[in-house]
Protein backbone atom coordinates (compact mmCIF):
# COMPACT_ATOMS: atom_id res chain seq x y z
CA UNK A 1 0.00 0.00 0.00
CA UNK A 2 1.05 3.59 -0.63
CA UNK A 3 -0.50 6.91 0.27
CA UNK A 4 -1.64 7.09 -3.36
CA UNK A 5 -3.55 3.80 -3.19
CA UNK A 6 -2.88 0.12 -3.60
CA UNK A 7 -0.16 -1.26 -5.84
CA UNK A 8 -1.48 -3.03 -8.95
CA UNK A 9 -0.04 -4.25 -12.24
CA UNK A 10 -0.89 -2.46 -15.47
CA UNK A 11 -3.19 -5.28 -16.69
CA UNK A 12 -5.20 -5.10 -13.48
CA UNK A 13 -5.65 -1.35 -13.91
CA UNK A 14 -7.09 -1.95 -17.40
CA UNK A 15 -9.36 -4.69 -16.08
CA UNK A 16 -10.56 -2.45 -13.23
CA UNK A 17 -11.50 0.32 -15.66
CA UNK A 18 -13.41 -2.11 -17.86
CA UNK A 19 -15.26 -3.64 -14.91
CA UNK A 20 -16.19 -0.27 -13.43
CA UNK A 21 -17.50 1.06 -16.73
CA UNK A 22 -19.46 -2.13 -17.45
CA UNK A 23 -21.05 -1.92 -14.01
CA UNK A 24 -21.92 1.72 -14.56
CA UNK A 25 -23.27 1.51 -18.11
CA UNK A 26 -24.95 -1.51 -19.71
CA UNK A 27 -24.17 -0.18 -23.18
CA UNK A 28 -20.46 -0.93 -22.62
CA UNK A 29 -19.57 -4.21 -24.32
CA UNK A 30 -16.26 -5.99 -24.95
CA UNK A 31 -15.39 -7.65 -28.26
CA UNK A 32 -12.17 -9.30 -29.44
CA UNK A 33 -10.13 -12.45 -29.94
CA UNK A 34 -9.78 -14.68 -26.87
CA UNK A 35 -11.05 -12.03 -24.46
CA UNK A 36 -13.77 -14.24 -22.95
CA UNK A 37 -12.89 -17.65 -21.54
CA UNK A 38 -9.16 -17.08 -22.02
CA UNK A 39 -9.25 -13.56 -20.55
CA UNK A 40 -7.19 -11.85 -23.24
CA UNK A 41 -3.71 -12.66 -24.46
CA UNK A 42 -2.25 -10.48 -21.66
CA UNK A 43 -4.95 -11.18 -19.07
CA UNK A 44 -6.57 -7.75 -19.18
CA UNK A 45 -10.11 -9.18 -19.43
CA UNK A 46 -9.72 -12.15 -17.06
CA UNK A 47 -13.00 -13.01 -15.33
CA UNK A 48 -15.11 -10.39 -17.08
CA UNK A 49 -17.08 -12.83 -19.23
CA UNK A 50 -17.89 -14.89 -16.16
CA UNK A 51 -19.07 -11.74 -14.37
CA UNK A 52 -21.02 -10.04 -17.18
CA UNK A 53 -21.95 -12.92 -19.47
CA UNK A 54 -21.29 -13.82 -23.08
CA UNK A 55 -23.67 -11.16 -24.43
CA UNK A 56 -21.43 -8.37 -23.15
CA UNK A 57 -18.00 -10.02 -23.36
CA UNK A 58 -17.80 -11.73 -26.72
CA UNK A 59 -15.05 -13.75 -28.34
CA UNK A 60 -14.54 -12.74 -31.95
CA UNK A 61 -13.39 -14.64 -35.03
CA UNK A 62 -9.85 -14.16 -36.33
CA UNK A 63 -10.65 -11.14 -38.50
CA UNK A 64 -9.57 -7.72 -37.29
CA UNK A 65 -11.56 -6.04 -40.05
CA UNK A 66 -14.72 -7.83 -38.90
CA UNK A 67 -14.00 -7.01 -35.24
CA UNK A 68 -13.54 -3.31 -35.94
CA UNK A 69 -16.43 -3.18 -38.41
CA UNK A 70 -18.87 -4.73 -35.94
CA UNK A 71 -17.68 -2.26 -33.29
CA UNK A 72 -18.38 0.70 -35.57
CA UNK A 73 -21.86 -0.61 -36.32
CA UNK A 74 -22.59 -1.25 -32.65
CA UNK A 75 -21.40 2.25 -31.72
CA UNK A 76 -23.61 3.83 -34.39
CA UNK A 77 -26.57 1.96 -32.88
CA UNK A 78 -25.97 3.29 -29.36
CA UNK A 79 -23.56 0.82 -27.79
CA UNK A 80 -20.14 1.66 -26.37
CA UNK A 81 -17.93 -1.16 -27.64
CA UNK A 82 -14.40 -1.67 -26.34
CA UNK A 83 -12.47 -3.71 -28.86
CA UNK A 84 -9.26 -5.61 -28.13
CA UNK A 85 -7.03 -6.16 -31.16
CA UNK A 86 -4.45 -8.77 -30.11
CA UNK A 87 -1.42 -6.81 -31.42
CA UNK A 88 -1.22 -3.22 -32.59
CA UNK A 89 0.42 -4.48 -35.78
CA UNK A 90 -2.93 -6.09 -36.62
CA UNK A 91 -4.69 -2.71 -36.46
CA UNK A 92 -3.52 -2.43 -40.06
CA UNK A 93 -6.09 -5.10 -40.96
CA UNK A 94 -8.76 -3.00 -39.23
CA UNK A 95 -7.59 0.32 -40.67
CA UNK A 96 -10.51 0.88 -43.02
CA UNK A 97 -13.11 0.49 -40.28
CA UNK A 98 -11.16 2.69 -37.87
CA UNK A 99 -9.76 5.38 -40.19
CA UNK A 100 -12.39 5.55 -42.93
CA UNK A 101 -15.52 4.77 -40.92
CA UNK A 102 -15.18 5.35 -37.16
CA UNK A 103 -13.15 8.54 -37.56
CA UNK A 104 -15.46 10.11 -40.14
CA UNK A 105 -19.10 9.34 -39.33
CA UNK A 106 -19.60 12.19 -36.87
CA UNK A 107 -18.10 14.73 -39.28
CA UNK A 108 -19.89 13.44 -42.37
CA UNK A 109 -23.27 13.40 -40.60
CA UNK A 110 -22.92 16.88 -39.16
CA UNK A 111 -23.00 15.43 -35.66
CA UNK A 112 -26.15 13.36 -36.18
CA UNK A 113 -24.18 10.16 -35.58
CA UNK A 114 -21.40 9.40 -33.13
CA UNK A 115 -19.00 6.46 -32.81
CA UNK A 116 -18.09 6.00 -29.12
CA UNK A 117 -15.79 3.03 -29.69
CA UNK A 118 -12.45 2.25 -28.05
CA UNK A 119 -9.87 0.21 -29.92
CA UNK A 120 -7.44 -1.23 -27.35
CA UNK A 121 -4.27 -2.91 -28.55
CA UNK A 122 -0.84 -3.96 -27.18
CA UNK A 123 2.03 -2.21 -28.96
CA UNK A 124 5.79 -2.01 -28.73
CA UNK A 125 8.91 -4.12 -28.58
CA UNK A 126 11.24 -5.54 -25.98
CA UNK A 127 9.54 -8.94 -25.73
CA UNK A 128 11.27 -10.79 -28.53
CA UNK A 129 8.15 -10.94 -30.70
CA UNK A 130 10.03 -9.83 -33.81
CA UNK A 131 9.16 -7.55 -36.69
CA UNK A 132 5.46 -8.28 -37.22
CA UNK A 133 4.40 -8.13 -33.55
CA UNK A 134 6.50 -5.31 -32.06
CA UNK A 135 5.68 -2.09 -33.87
CA UNK A 136 4.77 1.32 -32.48
CA UNK A 137 2.34 2.86 -34.96
CA UNK A 138 0.79 5.62 -32.86
CA UNK A 139 1.72 8.27 -35.42
CA UNK A 140 -0.39 6.50 -38.07
CA UNK A 141 -3.55 7.14 -36.08
CA UNK A 142 -2.54 10.62 -34.91
CA UNK A 143 -2.65 11.55 -38.61
CA UNK A 144 -6.37 10.71 -38.91
CA UNK A 145 -8.71 13.59 -37.96
CA UNK A 146 -11.60 12.29 -35.88
CA UNK A 147 -9.57 9.82 -33.83
CA UNK A 148 -8.13 10.31 -30.36
CA UNK A 149 -4.91 8.46 -29.53
CA UNK A 150 -3.92 7.50 -25.98
CA UNK A 151 -0.65 5.86 -24.82
CA UNK A 152 -0.57 5.47 -21.02
CA UNK A 153 2.37 4.28 -18.97
CA UNK A 154 1.39 4.17 -15.31
CA UNK A 155 -1.38 1.86 -14.00
CA UNK A 156 -3.23 4.80 -12.43
CA UNK A 157 -3.16 6.63 -15.77
CA UNK A 158 -4.29 3.56 -17.71
CA UNK A 159 -7.37 3.16 -15.54
CA UNK A 160 -8.35 6.84 -15.48
CA UNK A 161 -7.75 7.40 -19.19
CA UNK A 162 -9.53 4.22 -20.29
CA UNK A 163 -12.61 5.19 -18.30
CA UNK A 164 -12.61 8.60 -19.99
CA UNK A 165 -12.06 7.00 -23.39
CA UNK A 166 -15.07 4.72 -22.92
CA UNK A 167 -17.27 7.69 -22.00
CA UNK A 168 -16.02 9.81 -24.91
CA UNK A 169 -18.37 10.13 -27.90
CA UNK A 170 -15.46 9.92 -30.33
CA UNK A 171 -13.46 6.84 -31.38
CA UNK A 172 -10.29 6.34 -29.35
CA UNK A 173 -7.23 4.25 -30.24
CA UNK A 174 -5.86 3.13 -26.87
CA UNK A 175 -2.35 1.66 -27.09
CA UNK A 176 -0.92 -0.37 -24.21
CA UNK A 177 2.72 -1.49 -24.23
CA UNK A 178 2.87 -5.27 -24.46
CA UNK A 179 6.00 -5.52 -22.29
CA UNK A 180 4.33 -3.45 -19.62
CA UNK A 181 1.31 -5.45 -18.42
CA UNK A 182 3.13 -6.71 -15.34
CA UNK A 183 4.55 -3.27 -14.43
CA UNK A 184 3.41 -2.39 -10.93
CA UNK A 185 2.38 1.02 -9.64
CA UNK A 186 -0.10 2.78 -7.34
CA UNK A 187 -3.77 3.13 -8.21
CA UNK A 188 -6.35 4.95 -6.05
CA UNK A 189 -9.11 2.91 -4.44
CA UNK A 190 -11.72 5.48 -5.39
CA UNK A 191 -12.94 6.03 -8.93
CA UNK A 192 -10.81 8.48 -10.90
CA UNK A 193 -11.24 9.83 -14.41
CA UNK A 194 -8.33 11.51 -16.16
CA UNK A 195 -9.15 13.88 -19.02
CA UNK A 196 -8.11 13.02 -22.55
CA UNK A 197 -5.84 15.66 -24.08
CA UNK A 198 -4.16 16.65 -20.81
CA UNK A 199 -0.49 15.95 -20.13
CA UNK A 200 0.98 15.14 -16.73
CA UNK A 201 4.24 16.43 -15.28
CA UNK A 202 5.77 13.29 -13.82
CA UNK A 203 8.80 15.11 -12.39
CA UNK A 204 9.54 18.80 -12.02
CA UNK A 205 12.84 20.30 -13.11
CA UNK A 206 14.52 23.48 -14.28
CA UNK A 207 17.18 22.63 -16.88
CA UNK A 208 15.60 20.42 -19.56
CA UNK A 209 12.07 19.47 -20.63
CA UNK A 210 11.97 15.75 -21.42
CA UNK A 211 8.79 14.47 -23.11
CA UNK A 212 8.09 10.75 -23.29
CA UNK A 213 5.20 8.28 -23.13
CA UNK A 214 4.21 4.62 -22.86
CA UNK A 215 6.93 2.30 -21.53
CA UNK A 216 9.64 4.66 -22.80
CA UNK A 217 8.61 7.04 -20.03
CA UNK A 218 10.28 4.66 -17.56
CA UNK A 219 13.60 5.13 -19.34
CA UNK A 220 13.05 8.90 -19.30
CA UNK A 221 12.57 8.82 -15.53
CA UNK A 222 15.63 6.61 -15.14
CA UNK A 223 17.68 9.06 -17.21
CA UNK A 224 16.41 11.91 -15.05
CA UNK A 225 17.64 10.07 -11.95
CA UNK A 226 21.08 9.54 -13.48
CA UNK A 227 21.46 13.14 -14.57
CA UNK A 228 20.30 14.52 -11.26
CA UNK A 229 23.52 13.04 -9.82
CA UNK A 230 25.38 15.11 -12.45
CA UNK A 231 23.59 18.28 -11.37
CA UNK A 232 21.09 18.40 -14.27
CA UNK A 233 17.46 19.03 -13.29
CA UNK A 234 14.99 17.47 -15.74
CA UNK A 235 11.28 18.09 -16.01
CA UNK A 236 9.63 14.90 -17.30
CA UNK A 237 6.31 15.28 -19.10
CA UNK A 238 4.00 12.44 -20.10
CA UNK A 239 1.52 13.62 -22.78
CA UNK A 240 -0.61 10.48 -22.16
CA UNK A 241 -2.89 11.56 -25.02
CA UNK A 242 -0.92 12.04 -28.23
CA UNK A 243 -3.89 13.43 -30.15
CA UNK A 244 -5.20 15.87 -29.20
CA UNK A 245 -1.82 16.94 -27.85
CA UNK A 246 -1.50 19.13 -24.78
CA UNK A 247 1.14 21.50 -26.14
CA UNK A 248 0.43 24.11 -23.46
CA UNK A 249 1.92 21.99 -20.68
CA UNK A 250 5.07 21.44 -22.75
CA UNK A 251 5.37 25.17 -23.47
CA UNK A 252 4.92 26.05 -19.81
CA UNK A 253 7.82 23.76 -19.01
CA UNK A 254 9.97 25.18 -21.82
CA UNK A 255 9.40 28.67 -20.48
CA UNK A 256 11.42 27.49 -17.45
CA UNK A 257 13.98 25.19 -19.04
CA UNK A 258 14.55 26.45 -22.59
CA UNK A 259 15.69 22.98 -23.70
CA UNK A 260 13.67 20.13 -25.19
CA UNK A 261 14.29 16.40 -25.65
CA UNK A 262 11.56 14.07 -26.92
CA UNK A 263 11.95 10.32 -26.59
CA UNK A 264 9.72 7.55 -27.94
CA UNK A 265 10.04 3.92 -28.93
CA UNK A 266 8.86 4.40 -32.52
CA UNK A 267 11.52 5.36 -35.03
CA UNK A 268 12.09 9.05 -35.67
CA UNK A 269 10.88 9.67 -39.24
CA UNK A 270 7.32 11.10 -39.18
CA UNK A 271 7.04 10.18 -35.51
CA UNK A 272 5.07 12.07 -32.85
CA UNK A 273 8.34 13.49 -31.53
CA UNK A 274 8.88 15.25 -34.84
CA UNK A 275 5.42 16.82 -34.57
CA UNK A 276 6.01 18.03 -31.02
CA UNK A 277 9.31 19.63 -31.97
CA UNK A 278 7.80 21.15 -35.13
CA UNK A 279 4.98 22.79 -33.18
CA UNK A 280 7.45 24.22 -30.67
CA UNK A 281 9.84 25.51 -33.34
CA UNK A 282 7.14 26.93 -35.63
CA UNK A 283 5.38 29.00 -33.01
CA UNK A 284 7.61 29.28 -29.97
CA UNK A 285 11.22 29.37 -31.13
CA UNK A 286 11.90 32.18 -28.67
CA UNK A 287 11.58 29.73 -25.77
CA UNK A 288 14.51 27.60 -26.92
CA UNK A 289 18.09 28.04 -25.75
CA UNK A 290 19.34 25.04 -27.76
CA UNK A 291 18.24 22.92 -30.68
CA UNK A 292 15.74 20.20 -29.64
CA UNK A 293 16.76 16.55 -29.76
CA UNK A 294 14.88 13.33 -30.54
CA UNK A 295 15.64 9.90 -29.10
CA UNK A 296 14.01 6.99 -30.91
CA UNK A 297 14.39 3.47 -32.24
CA UNK A 298 16.55 2.54 -35.19
CA UNK A 299 14.55 2.71 -38.44
CA UNK A 300 14.40 -1.02 -39.11
CA UNK A 301 11.98 -3.91 -38.55
CA UNK A 302 12.64 -5.04 -35.00
CA UNK A 303 14.83 -8.16 -34.84
CA UNK A 304 13.86 -11.34 -33.00
CA UNK A 305 17.36 -11.65 -31.57
CA UNK A 306 17.40 -10.25 -28.02
CA UNK A 307 20.72 -8.37 -28.28
CA UNK A 308 19.80 -6.96 -31.70
CA UNK A 309 16.35 -5.88 -30.47
CA UNK A 310 17.94 -4.22 -27.45
CA UNK A 311 20.38 -2.38 -29.71
CA UNK A 312 17.53 -1.14 -31.92
CA UNK A 313 15.42 0.30 -29.09
CA UNK A 314 16.21 3.48 -27.13
CA UNK A 315 17.08 3.23 -23.45
CA UNK A 316 17.90 5.47 -20.51
CA UNK A 317 21.53 5.85 -21.58
CA UNK A 318 20.47 7.11 -25.02
CA UNK A 319 18.14 9.64 -23.44
CA UNK A 320 20.81 10.81 -20.98
CA UNK A 321 23.26 11.31 -23.85
CA UNK A 322 20.76 13.50 -25.71
CA UNK A 323 20.11 15.59 -22.61
CA UNK A 324 23.83 16.14 -22.11
CA UNK A 325 24.05 17.47 -25.66
CA UNK A 326 21.33 20.08 -25.16
CA UNK A 327 22.82 21.37 -21.90
CA UNK A 328 26.35 21.82 -23.21
Residue 37's φ and ψ, nearest 5 degrees, are -60, -45
Residue 284 is a catalytic residue: no
Residue 264 is a catalytic residue: no
**Backbone CA torsion sign across 213, 247, 91, 309:** negative
Nearest one of 170, 174, 153 to 162, comparing CA atoms: 174
Query: Distance between CA 322 and CA 289 in Å, rounded?
Result: 15
Query: Distance between CA 58 and CA 189 in Å, rounded?
Result: 28
Annotated active-site residue in 133, 180, 264, 267:
133
Query: Distance between CA 221 and CA 226 in Å, rounded?
Result: 9
Dmax over Cα atoms in the chain, in whole Å? 60
Cα distances (Å, whole numbers) of residue 68 to 117, 242, 249, 271: 9, 21, 33, 25
Annotated active-site residue in 21, 64, 84, 309:
64
The answer to whether residues 326 and 292 touch, using CB atoms and an 8 Å cutoff, is yes
Write out the catalytic residue numbers: 64, 133
Amino acid sequence: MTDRGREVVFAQAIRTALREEMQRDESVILWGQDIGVYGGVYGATTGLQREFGEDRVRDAPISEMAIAGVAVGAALLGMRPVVEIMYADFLMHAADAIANQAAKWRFMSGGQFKVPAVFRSPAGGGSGYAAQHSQNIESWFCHIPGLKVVCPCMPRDARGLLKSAIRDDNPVVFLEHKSHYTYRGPMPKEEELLPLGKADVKREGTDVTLVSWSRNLLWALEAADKLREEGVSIEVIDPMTLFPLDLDTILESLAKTGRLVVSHEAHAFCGVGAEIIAQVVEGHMDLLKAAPKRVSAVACPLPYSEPLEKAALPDADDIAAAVRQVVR
